[in-house]
Amino acid sequence: MNYHDYIWDLGGTLLDNYEVSTQAFVACLENYGIKASHDDVYMKLKESTNAAIDFFIPNEESFLQEYKLFEAEYLKHPVLFEGAREILAKIVAEDGRNFLISHRNKQVLSILELTELYPYFTEVVTSNNGFARKPNPESMLYLKDKYHIEKALVIGDREIDRQAGRAAGFDTLLVDNKKSLMEIVT
């Protein structure tokens, strides 16, 4: 392994939440009498939740809150990408450290418990920590200072992960989930 410290994104990187979130979003739209294709919703959610709402249901203020309730139910059965557990375990076994930065709230901790990934992380940063959202590097700079990180690899699935990592002075890797995380990271 070329790094001691790895800073991970959760959704779309370790967790296949886009599929689960898409199913929840489509189901919630149907409650409002709106039909949308799975693939269109999936692509908009890859941009962001706000982008999907602005595109599909921009004038319904209660939608986000209802969608988050739907999504929370769907996320009670999280699905990991191939190699996620194995690569985290390998990093820890080789005396490395894993960190996680997510835009989600403390629900992330429940997801990590359900998937049995929580013990592999030195620290998990969620929206409850109050840092600015990526691409702002504030949360990464916090980890850098707290843990005296000199060299790290930031791993995510979106350009905002790359931008935040570079702004914090770290190397970055974007994944597309076409290969196992074990193949990509090692």
Q: For residue 71, what is the domain's CATH number? A: 1.10.150.240
Q: Do 180 and 104 share a domain, yes or no?
A: yes
Dihedral, 85, 107, 50, 138 alpha carbons, nearest 10 = -80
Query: What integer pLDDT is reported at residue 153 of this predicted model?
Result: 97
Residue with tokens 């986000």: 64
User: What is the rounded CA–CA span in Å between residue 110 and residue 124?
Assistant: 12
> Is 121 strand, coil or helix?
strand
Query: What integer pLDDT is reported at residue 74 of this predicted model?
Result: 87
Per-residue pLDDT of the chain (186 residues; tens, 9 = 90+): 689 999 999 988 999 888 889 999 999 999 999 999 999 999 999 888 999 999 999 999 999 999 999 998 888 888 899 899 999 999 999 999 999 999 989 989 999 999 999 999 999 999 999 999 999 999 999 999 999 999 999 999 999 999 999 999 999 999 987 777 877 786
Query: What integer pLDDT is reported at residue 14 of this predicted model?
Result: 95
- Give the count of domains, the chain: 2
Query: What integer pLDDT is reported at residue 137 of this predicted model?
Result: 98
Q: Determine contact, residues 118/92, Cβ cutoff 8 Å.
A: no
Query: What integer pLDDT is reported at residue 183 of this predicted model?
Result: 76
Q: Do 34 and 113 share a domain, yes or no?
A: no
Q: Identify the domain containing residue 33 by its residue range.
A: 17-75
Q: Do 97 and 158 share a domain, yes or no?
A: yes
Q: Do 98 and 68 share a domain, yes or no?
A: no
- Pairs from 27-30 (Cβ < 8 Å, separation ≥ 24): 27/70, 28/63, 28/66, 28/67, 28/70, 29/56, 29/57
Query: What integer pLDDT is reported at residue 88 of this predicted model?
Result: 97
Q: Determine contact, residues 101/130, Cβ cutoff 8 Å.
A: no
The domain boundary, picked from 29, 60, 75, lies at: 75
Q: Do 47 and 114 share a domain, yes or no?
A: no
Q: Do 40 and 127 share a domain, yes or no?
A: no
Q: Do 33 and 95 share a domain, yes or no?
A: no
CATH of the domain at 98: 3.40.50.1000
Q: Do 44 and 64 share a domain, yes or no?
A: yes
**DSSP 8-state secondary structure symbol assigned to residue 132:** P
